[in-house]
């Protein structure tokens, strides 16, 4: 996943998390798994989350992008959107993910764009469209997250960036 200095966050989100002493870029990252898979979050707000992932290193034995890799990208982007919707008093926990794989990808980067379908008080659902470099849809996914209140002890994980 690498450095996150180029992620675009809305100013009000930056201000909210800075006041809590939370590392915003670490919190809204894909964590260790995303790092191993090369996920990069490019843009993040409750209205739209955009991220990329290389195909290379994330393939199945036939050389095609692994469906599980698409699922990781989709869940990452939808979780970030859900966390931003919930705000600093909530934690987003994925409770349902489904993915439909439309076409294979053998090389290059895939780009995922997560947009909200539903943003409520206790759940958030995002549609995630993953496309190849030619703009062809590779995967359609939908993620629903439970938005639960931050509990004592969660703050340590949030400050370490283990929340998304």
Q: How far apart are CA 86 and CA 120, in angstroms?
A: 9
pLDDT band at 16 (very low <50, low <70, confident <90, very high): confident
| pTM score of the predicted model | 0.85
On the question of pLDDT at 93 being above 60, the answer is: yes
Q: Is 49 helix (H, G, I), strand (E, B) or coil?
A: strand
Task: Give, rounded to a whole angstrom, the gap between the first and last alpha carbons of the chain.
Answer: 14
DSSP at 45: -
On the question of pLDDT at 85 being above 50, the answer is: yes
Cα angle value 3/55/100 (rounded, 5°): 110
DSSP at 59: B
Q: Please, are residues 94 and 75 in contact by the beta-carbon 8 Å criterion?
A: yes
Point out the catalytic residue in the list 75, 133, 134, 155. Answer: 75
Of 26-30, 66-70, 100-104, 136-140, which range is least confident? 26-30
Q: Is 75 annotated as catalytic?
A: yes
């Amino acid at each position: 996943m690498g450095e996150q200095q180029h992620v675009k966050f809305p100013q009000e989100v930056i201000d909210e998390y800075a006041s809590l002493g939370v590392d915003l870029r670490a919190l809204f990252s894909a964590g260790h798994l995303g790092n191993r898979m090369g996920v990069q979050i490019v843009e993040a707000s409750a209205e739209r989350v955009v991220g990329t992932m290389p195909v290379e290193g994330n393939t199945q034995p036939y050389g095609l992008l692994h469906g599980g890799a698409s699922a990781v990208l989709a869940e990452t982007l939808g979780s970030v959107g859900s966390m931003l919707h919930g705000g600093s008093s909530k934690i987003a926990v994925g409770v349902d993910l489904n993915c439909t794989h439309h076409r294979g990808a053998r090389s290059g980067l895939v780009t995922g764009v997560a947009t909200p379908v539903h943003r409520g008080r206790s759940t958030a659902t995002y549609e995630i469209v993953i496309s190849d470099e030619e703009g062809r849809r590779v995967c359609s996914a939908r993620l629903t997250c439970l938005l639960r209140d931050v509990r004592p002890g969660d703050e340590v994980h949030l400050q370490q960036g283990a929340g998304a």
